[in-house]
Amino acid sequence: MRLTNPGLPYGTTPTFWGSIQVILPGEVATTHRHVASALRFIMKGNGAFTTVDGEEYAMNEGDLVITPAMTWHDHVHRGDEPMIWLDVLDISLVRAMHATFFEGYSSDLQAVSEYPHRSYQQFGSGIMRPVRPKVHNPVNPLLAYPADRALAALSSAAELPADPYCDTQLEYQNPATGQSALPTISTRLQRLRPNSRCLPQRHTGSVLNYVIGGSGITVVNGQRFQWGPGDFIAIPPWSWYEHALTSQEPATLFQVNDIPALRALGLYREEFAASE
């Protein structure tokens, strides 16, 4: 099910599509590749596996799995209950550049490598990296970001003083470069504390937020939107926005934005409202 934006001819934002995908037990998404960069954030369920250029990783609730451009990938659900994940591709940007390309594989599933977790074993610690790595993918050697590691990092950062514009926000990074996990898409986790209110900001990037837990409001160009677990909030480019929490429990949001693409093109600009 696509998160269609009625104000656009194509896509959720000007540069990417967000879709909600339901995967049934035993279902297989056959091997293919495409120019568009893609990611999956697991909203609900456990038991699926993805293979990306021969490396196989579990896909469980809260995990982030990426498929860089032109990597062979497939998915298999080996669990017992349906799964739901957020599927994001920068296809709107790729279409605008007239660079769309798709290719099927010679069989339904690709072979799994002798070392199926090579990239995670080399780069997954987050604090160390190999001196002479054997890297299959030049875009990002790390293909899977487990939920427990990401949430532990977010909780640790949330013990520090809050940033006035986002409270606590961490970005999934490419461990080889320190940049965003994908060259055109940034993925982030955000923690909002009880009764917190962020100051307004705006930038030329577009944003899609998925509410993992908690409830609050987002004000976009003066219009107020309430949200809770399972909701999505899309923010257009160059729109003033701010978040505020209305619950006594913290809120956690998963965010996708196109800021890396705007930066690469020299088109990124941001403004922050002054403190009250």
Question: How far apart (Å, rounded) are the C-alpha atoms in residues 28 and 20?
Answer: 16
14-56 confidence digits (pLDDT tens): 999 999 999 999 999 999 999 999 999 999 999 999 999 999 9
| C-alpha of 221 from chain center | 24
Strand partners for 207: 235, 257
Q: With contact defined as beta carbons under 8 Å apart, do 119 and 146 qualify?
A: no
Q: Tell me the residue type at 222.
A: G
The 10s digit of each residue's pLDDT in 73-87 is 999 999 999 999 999
Asked if the model's pLDDT at residue 225 lies above 90, the reply is yes
Within this chain, domains 17-145 and 147-272 share the same CATH topology: yes
| Strands in 60-200 per DSSP E | 64-67, 73-77, 83-89, 102-104, 144-145, 168-171, 186-192
Residue 163 has pLDDT above 80, yes or no: yes
Domains of the chain: which residue ranges? Answer: 17-145, 147-272
Compute the mean pLDDT over every residue in the chain, rounded to the nearest whole number: 95
Contact status, residue 45 vs residue 59, Cβ threshold 8 Å: no
Share of the chain above pLDDT 90, in %: 90
> Which parts of the chain fold into alpha helices (H)?
91-96, 118-123, 147-157, 259-264
- Find, among 106, 93, 112, the residue nearest to 35 by Cα: 93
Please name the amino acid found at residue 83: M
pLDDT at residue 26, as a whole number:
95
pLDDT band at 275 (very low <50, low <70, confident <90, very high): confident
pLDDT band, residue 176 (cuts 50/70/90): confident
Residue-wise pLDDT for 89-100, tens only, equals: 999 999 999 999
What does CATH list as the number for 17-145? 2.60.120.10
DSSP state of 39: E
Give the angle subtended at the CA of 265 by the CAs of 175 and 137, to the nearest 5°. Answer: 30
Report percent pLDDT > 70 for the chain.
99
Contacting residues for 116 by C-beta, under 8 A, at least 6 apart: 51, 54, 55, 56, 57
The token pair at 227 is 């949200």
Residue 258 has a pLDDT of 98
Q: How confident is the model at residue 129 (pLDDT cuts 50, 70, 90)?
A: confident
Least confident of 66-70, 111-115, 245-249: 245-249
pLDDT for residue 136 is more than 80? no
- State the virtual CA torsion across 195, 200, 205, 209 in degrees, nearest 10: 20
Bridge partners, 257 (sequence order)? 186, 207
Instruction: Say which CATH class 147-272 falls into.
Output: mainly beta
Q: What are the angstrom distances between the C-alpha of 56 and each of 52, 75, 226, 256?
A: 7, 9, 38, 24
Write out the H or E segment, with its range, that includes residue 23: strand 17-23
The per-residue pLDDT for 276 is: 64
Whether the pLDDT of residue 123 is over 70: the answer is yes
